[in-house]
Chains A and B, each alone.
Chain A
Amino acid sequence: MLEIKNLHVRIEEDGTEIIRGLNLSVAAGEVAAIMGPNGSGKSTLSYVLSGKEDYEVTEGSITYNGENLLDMDVSERAAAGVFLAFQYPVEIPGVPTMTFLKEAMNAQRKQRGEDVLSTPDFIKRVRAAAGDLKIDFNMLKRPVNVGFSGGEKKRAEILQMALLEPKLCILDETDSGLDIDALKIVSQGVNHLRDPNRAVIVITHYQRLLDHIVPDTVHVLSKGQIVKSGDKSLAIELEEKGYADIIEAAA
């Protein structure tokens, strides 16, 4: 589904190279964990995949379902099924959450040539998905993420993911700022979306999240490169030995 080859990325503003020759492939149905120390380029990778402007790809390619992902703008990627669950979801004053959800769902449906949702159908879907994630429906009457707690924001991200039914989900440190109960709810939400036609990239510092969302593959990112890949046992090894040993051994 996703094929990243020799990717080099730098920050547009100051030219700092963050991703330095990264290779990664993720197949449909696969849950891939990307782990790595602070500053290794994990969040940059998630932004580059979703198309944030502030980064410049200087070399390499990203192929998504046979198409050149780098040719698409942010909203086109989203409509094509790429979904980023933000590490820090943005608060947008003045835009009601329900308006935002409806606009997003219908924008994607239109791009795919499907009919727009009727209001009752839309509300039914939101109610059901919110119920699964234990989100109070009244909360969705507020502006996007405004006044949500850290945990509520992360659950709202998973709610959007459930409603938009993406093909490639990228979870950027979704576990940060979550208590144990919220972590379980969020993980259940993600596991619920596991599907042979869907790939999930889980970006995290800690193995803890991977107890709940069990990955098929684990990749260690260091200084902008994948330095080691393995199965879920690699995550356990990392937790025991720390990043330094693994990265040194791989170098």
Chain B
Amino acid sequence: MFDYETLRILWWGLMGVLLIAFALTDGFDLGVATLLPFVARTDSERRMVINSVGPTWEGNQVWFILGGGAIFAAWPFVYAVSFSGFYLAMFLVLAALILRPVGFKYRSKRPDPRWRSGWDWALFVGGVVPALVFGVAVGNVLSGAPFRLDSDLRAFFDGSFLGLFTPFTLICGLLSVAMLVLHGSAWLAIKVEHGPVHDRATRFGTLAAILSLVLFAAGWAFVAWTDIGFRIVGTIDPAGPSNPLRTTSEIAAGAWLANYALHPWMMIAPLLGFGGAVVALIGIRRRIESAAFAGSSASAVGIIATVGLSMFPYILPSSIDAHSSLTVWNASSSEKTLGIMLFVTVVFLPIVLAYTAWAFKLMWGRVTAHEVATNPDFY
């Protein structure tokens, strides 16, 4: 139906869709968990916050798992190189995420305040650590990872865990936290009843919106004025076999902004990133809660799309080897697998979206202190 080149572009787009869907849904769960100890003080308040995401967070998390599976199926090189290359970072993310399902479910099983407070902090870790590490990882993808491939296409790494943290990658990590905390506070604003929790969420949301704007601008400045960026040297065969050894890359300062000069329409993405955060800020201050949530969503879409579009066609450049960088044209599955997986996605993704929408609609409405006190099904 589609040729290999088109399939690769479609799957690059679908990878973006999955990441964005993860940020838009589980993103607010992560943000809410990060905010939990700060916006809610009493047990009743904390239960309001937890139950604002309780019924739906589990489904949201599947975007992350599906993201992993889809990258495995469509971009096996990316799956193989990135997760083993960022090994300890990935362990941190998994260890933190493991705390979430248990935290949500087990916290309410005992009334002991120490037990509950312990799980509150576990949920906080389960929110803030993945948010931070995802951002740091994206920063490392932008600046290139220290790996090379041998002639068997086996990956080797020169980096260390601490080497992942540079000023630029920390800006990316903090931007990720600010973006998801903004999204989480916007979610709390529409999902919990007016009162102390709502007021505190609004204050944190204001701060997060301002930080998002500042950090996104700082990240942009880094990309524009430091020597971050790669470009392909020589010919590209967009329908060639997936073998990164056949591509030659070089480090080129400012190359991540080259696409915007080539295709000015791509500026929509960064504008959405900034504009969305501004709308969210106004929405939060003026108490127009739907605008705040729409703004934080748009900002997340814009920020993630900016990363993808800036790097295109790169997916994971190597900072140490000219013939190892992974691009849209050299790191995908075979044409056949991309085609089959596209068919499966086109059939099942609409079904998933339909019942997810139904689940959110069924659970619609603000969580109240009264309901928390009386509903035996609440966490």
- To the question of whether A and B form a pair in one complex, the answer is no
Show the binding face of A for B, using Cβ within 8 Å. none
Show the binding face of B for A, using Cβ within 8 Å. none
